[in-house]
């Protein structure tokens, strides 16, 4: 790694007008300094001018790069600065010159040197324009080495969040002689055959965290150079590329090289890479150490060398020293590494004969080649191996018999089964999850009968009940899910589930709301409320809205959305406590206890003397009949359930159906899964409303899987207040 070069620019004096509000940052927009978002005019000097003002600001400052393409030939942002809180807010794309000969001998394109407290965010992109240089190198012509897209040198307290780097000429991101650096959610993309395009290179640095990165490149996804200590890498996807590598070490001049120590790599996925987790050293006498390394929870998918220590590293086998490596490798732990190898030998330890590897630990390694156990090859390596198929007790809720009438706890039973912590090798793409929260939903009653003519198949006696839940992935052979991910979707009513149909679950990306909300407010019930109200009911400001089962999982959100839309809202519920909740917590205009009303038609007429524009129905039966008699002309009825009909052996039809014709009412039954194209918009809308405090959500939490049957039955006896949830584990 070359030493960062220095660039000096003379800055002319002129006045810059900046809005500085109390408690806010000073914002320096590069466009105001002359930058052009046309992708052709060089904006390097404008960026450096904006940096100069931010760096010299006595208070926290932001350099703002708006949307658009900005050509930047080269820029080195230097410290020290007057303040240690400078943000680079990049919403546009920085484009490097495609001509690879104009870097003036520097190996840096965008660089920060000697700074403290700089953060980069905004979801912007660095486009290194490296394709022409790659072609030169691949053709074997005489070419410059190129420039790394983003370099941090001699700096500390750095944070990068959500940045994308594409088509770098050399390394994408370099961290050199730095302290306390966090790289979060970076997205790195280059061709699989792009030479020397390491995704992230860390060297002579301490306290670096690389989290939730997605790296697809032509060289090492992450390379770890000498002098690196206390490095933490977690939840990284790598592929294509050469894997995550410590080294190469031992090539530099001199007799001693700085050691690499205390490195953790966990919850990573490698897909189609040349290597998985690798330690590589040259066969030279240069002394050094690699010590205290953990590789844990890794998934390999068709990887050529899933686990490899190569102390005779010599790419191309040209000019190899032919000596024994002086780098000592010790205390390296491999734990829970599984998946498929592209070659018969999945584990290779080719250690130094004069400095054998020691303290190597392998635990729970499960790698296969063409559905057979892969082989290993070890030279001069000392350590231990352990682990195997781990089985645990697995408490389950099982359907004992088909339910008749109102479901009873005796229709279900608690059973002790067993579960494997490992995804089945015969099923590619399966995941094993630890269930945390389970949703109690009325539709599940329909699956407790022997009736096949439905949109979802029935449970079978003796089988585990299925429903929506929140879970944590404990093992995975699916590239879309990593160990440690949280998911929501269909899972079993049990402590651990193996999920084969992973299209029925999704990864949870939002963590600043309670996890259990992903089966309620942000789950199927919340989406049902959103779709039913906005898509089926087509509300207008000033509409009169009636919601039945209004304190339940769906109704409570429908009422709040209607109020936010400018509607008059009345809800019905089954107790005085729930009525009070609707009026004083959820903001309904009025609410009533339907159990205390001798005539539902007259009750609704008293609350809606001008009639009902929208009826959101989850009950059916007498409530639906009464609502139809009170509908206005061109009213809309959204029907998402028929709770009153679940427990009857002879379901009743609608008595007042003629009103649909008389008043030209549109009544539509719907299922939320028919509207999944709206789910991203739903999530964004509801999350924003919740964070702004404009909606609330009520849960009725039941602790322990053994209490699941009682919680479910409570839905049909009115025992729940709010969304009924079963907490299986809080981890």
Helix residue ranges, H only, 251-313: none
Q: What residues contact residue 185 under an 8 Å CB cut-off, 6+ apart?
A: 161, 162, 211, 212, 213
Q: What is the DSSP letter of 676?
A: G
Q: What are the structure tokens assigned to 273, written together?
A: 């890479």
Q: What are the structure tokens assigned to 265, written together?
A: 């790599």
Question: What distance lies between CA 20 and its chain's CA centroid?
Answer: 35
Enumerate the active-site residues.
242
Q: What are the structure tokens assigned to 632, written together?
A: 């206005």
Helix/strand/coil (H, E, C) string of 41-73? EECHHHHHHHHHHHHCCCCCEEEEECCCEEECC
Cβ atoms 330, 290 nearer than 8 A: yes
CA angle 236, 296, 311 (to 5 degrees): 95
Cα–Cα distance measured from residue 571 to residue 607, given in angstroms and rounded to the nearest whole number: 10
Cα–Cα distance measured from residue 250 to residue 258, given in angstroms and rounded to the nearest whole number: 10
Site of tokens 């005796």: 410
DSSP string computed for 508-571: ----SS-GGGGGTTTSHHHHHHHIIIIIIS---TT-EEEESSTTSTTHHHHHHHHHHTT-EEEE
Q: What residues contact residue 115 under an 8 Å CB cut-off, 6+ apart?
A: 77, 78, 79, 80, 81, 86, 152, 155, 158
C-beta neighbour count of 268 within 10 angstroms: 27
Cα–Cα distance measured from residue 65 to residue 44, given in angstroms and rounded to the nearest whole number: 12
* Residue in 208, 142, 152, 145 with CA at minimum distance from that of residue 175: 152
């Amino acid at each position: 790694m070359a030493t960062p070069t220095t660039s000096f620019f003379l800055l002319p004096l002129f006045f810059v007008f900046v809005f500085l509000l109390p408690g806010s940052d000073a914002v320096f927009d590069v466009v105001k300094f002359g930058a052009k978002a046309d992708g052709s005019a060089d904006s390097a000097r404008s960026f450096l001018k904006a940096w100069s003002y931010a760096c010299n600001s006595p208070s926290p400052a932001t350099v703002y790069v708006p949307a658009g393409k900005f050509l930047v030939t080269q820029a080195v942002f230097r410290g020290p600065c007057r303040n240690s809180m400078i943000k680079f807010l990049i919403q546009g794309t920085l484009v490097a010159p495609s001509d690879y000969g104009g870097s003036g001998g520097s190996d840096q394109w965008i660089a920060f040197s000697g700074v403290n407290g700089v953060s980069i965010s905004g979801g912007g992109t660095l486009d290194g324009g490296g394709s022409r240089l790659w072609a030169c190198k691949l053709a074997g012509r005489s070419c410059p080495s190129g420039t790394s897209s983003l370099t941090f040198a001699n700096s500390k307290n750095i944070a990068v969040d959500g940045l994308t780097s594409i088509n770098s000429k050399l390394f994408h991101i370099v961290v050199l002689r730095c302290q306390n650096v966090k790289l979060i959610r970076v997205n790195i993309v280059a061709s699989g055959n792009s030479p020397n395009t390491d995704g992230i290179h860390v060297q002579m640095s301490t306290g670096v965290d690389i989290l939730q990165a997605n790296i697809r490149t032509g060289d090492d996804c992450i390379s770890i150079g000498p002098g690196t200590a206390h490095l933490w890498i977690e939840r990284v996807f790598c592929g294509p590329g050469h894997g995550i590598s410590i080294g190469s070490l031992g090539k530099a001049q001199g007799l001693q090289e700085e050691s690499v120590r205390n490195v953790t790599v966990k919850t990573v996925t490698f897909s189609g890479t040349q290597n998985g987790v690798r330690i590589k050293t040259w066969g030279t006498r240069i002394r050094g150490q690699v010590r205290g390394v953990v590789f844990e929870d890794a998934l390999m998918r068709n990887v050529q060398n899933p686990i490899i220590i190569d102390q005779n590293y010599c790419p191309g086998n040209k000019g190899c020293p032919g000596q024994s490596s002086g780098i000592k490798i010790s205390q390296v732990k491999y734990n829970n590494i599984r998946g498929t190898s592209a070659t018969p030998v999945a584990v290779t330890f080719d250690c130094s004969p004069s400095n054998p590897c020691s303290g190597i630990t392998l635990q729970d390694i499960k790698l296969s080649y063409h559905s057979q156990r892969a082989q290993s090859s070890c030279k001069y390596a000392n350590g231990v191996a352990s682990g195997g198929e781990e089985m645990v007790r697995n408490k389950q809720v099982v359907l004992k018999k088909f339910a008749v009438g109102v479901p009873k706890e005796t229709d279900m039973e608690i059973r002790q089964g067993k579960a494997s912590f490992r995804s089945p090798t015969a099923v590619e793409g399966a995941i094993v999850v630890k269930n945390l929260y389970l949703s109690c939903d009325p539709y599940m009653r329909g699956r407790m009968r022997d009736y096949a003519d439905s949109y979802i198949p029935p449970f079978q006696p003796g089988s585990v009940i299925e429903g929506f839940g929140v879970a944590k992935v404990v093992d995975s052979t699916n590239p879309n899910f990593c160990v440690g991910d949280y998911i929501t979707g269909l899972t079993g009513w049990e402590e651990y589930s193996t999920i084969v149909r992973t299209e029925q679950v999704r990864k949870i990306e939002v963590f600043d709301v309670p996890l259990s909300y992903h089966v309620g407010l942000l789950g199927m019930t919340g989406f049902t409320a959103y779709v039913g109200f906005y898509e089926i009911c087509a509300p207008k400001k000033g509409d009169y809205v009636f919601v039945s089962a209004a304190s339940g999982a769906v109704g409570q959100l429908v009422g709040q959305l209607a109020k936010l839309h400018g509607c008059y809202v009345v809800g019905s519920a089954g107790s005085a406590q729930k009525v009070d909740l609707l009026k004083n917590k959820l903001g309904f205009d009025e609410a009533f206890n339907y159990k205390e009303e001798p005539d539902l038609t007259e009750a609704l007429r008293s609350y809606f003397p001008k009639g009902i524009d929208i009826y959101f129905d989850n009950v059916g039966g007498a409530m639906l009949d009464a609502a139809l008699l009170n509908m206005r002309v061109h009213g809309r009825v959204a029907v998402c359930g028929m709770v009153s009909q679940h427990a009857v052996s002879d379901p009743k039809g609608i008595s007042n159906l003629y009103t649909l014709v008389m008043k030209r009412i549109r009544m539509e039954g719907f299922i939320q899964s028919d509207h999944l194209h709206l789910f991203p918009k739903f999530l964004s809308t509801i999350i924003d409303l919740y964070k702004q405090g404009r909606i609330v959500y009520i849960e009725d939490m039941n602790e322990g899987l053994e209490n699941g049957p009682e919680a479910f039955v409570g839905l049909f006896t009115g025992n729940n207040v709010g969304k009924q949830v079963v907490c299986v584990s809080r981890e």
